[in-house]
Amino acid sequence: MTIRLGVMGGTFNPPHRGHLEAARHVRAALGLDRVLFVPNNIPPHKRMPAHSATTAQRFEMVGLMVRDEPWAALSTIEVDRGGASYTVETLRALAGEGQALALIIGTDMLMTLEQWREPAEICRLATLATVARSEDDRAALRRQAARLQGLYGADVRLVDCPALPVSSTQLREQGGFDCLTPPAVAAYIEEHHLYR
Ligand code: ATP
Ligand code: MG
């Protein structure tokens, strides 16, 4: 039987409950076997802010986030590949293993997908499983889903779940790790004096 794999990429600087809950809901809605969290090596479309965690630290924090979730795993694929991390290359490698893929992305990422490397190929390789990042995102998501269907024949699923409007930026700037990241991640941030 084909493995149905969810793939959630990001900088995870730091990982937070928004990432975990989005993945949990998509997995249930689409009946995925597993979700891979894929910390990128170098994000091609964004500059890492000052006082970021290192790549190794982002990676370790994602490992701590998935540790107690039997359905979730950490993927080393982009860090192992090195250089700039392009989602299309990651999907190609994972699809080559014969798995059916669902790329899990929030609103901001669905809105900018056309600017990614090889968007048509991304849409050919994976279902796009999208989660709203705030309650008023949904109309924009529906419009963009229709647009990507028209442009690339994308299979876009808007997964209906309560939005958890948290971001890593907000956490880095305002704190709140204890409530908004898993306890092991909050402890790691404290122990390593991150985001001070
Ligand atoms: P930053 O503020 O540093 O950009 P972020 O919170 O947006 O961090 P990323 O690592 O950039 O986190 O995002 C990885 C993926 O997770 C993206 O597809 C993003 O849209 C999605 N995502 C992030 N936060 C949420 C959330 N609260 N709800 C749903 N999806 C989310
Ligand atoms: Mg982001």
pLDDT value at residue 3: 82
- 49-53, 72-76, 112-116, 180-184: the lowest-pLDDT one: 49-53
CA angle 75, 102, 178 (to 5 degrees): 55
For ligand 1, whether the C-beta of 12 sits within 6 Å is: yes
- On the 0-12 / 13-18 / 19+ scale of CB atoms within 10 A, 8 is buried
Could you list the beta-strand ranges (E) of the chain: 4-10, 34-39, 72-74, 100-106, 126-131, 156-158
pLDDT value at residue 45: 87
Q: Does the pTM exceed 0.85?
A: yes
- The gap between the terminal CA atoms of the chain, to the nearest Å, is 48
pLDDT digits (tens, 9 = 90+) for 74-114: 999 999 999 999 999 999 999 988 899 999 999 999 999 99
Whose alpha carbon is nearest atom 15 of ligand 1? 10
pLDDT digits (tens, 9 = 90+) for 7-29: 999 999 999 999 999 999 999 99
pLDDT value at residue 2: 80
For ligand 1, whether the C-beta of 6 sits within 6 Å is: no
Section 134-138 average pLDDT: 93
Rounded-to-integer distance, Cα 56 and Cα 71, Å: 23
Q: Which residue has the higher pLDDT, 46 or 79?
A: 79
Rounded-to-integer distance, Cα 183 and Cα 188, Å: 9
Q: Is the peptide bond before 14 cis (omega within 30 degrees of 0)?
A: yes
Whose alpha carbon is nearest atom 7 of ligand 1? 167
Ligand with the closest atom to the CA of 172: 1
CA distances (Å), origin 87, targets 2, 35, 93, 196: 21, 15, 10, 30
Rounded-to-integer distance, Cα 183 and Cα 196, Å: 18
Which ligand 1 atom sits closest to the C-alpha of 133?
A: 28
pLDDT value at residue 94: 96
Is pLDDT above 90 for 53? yes
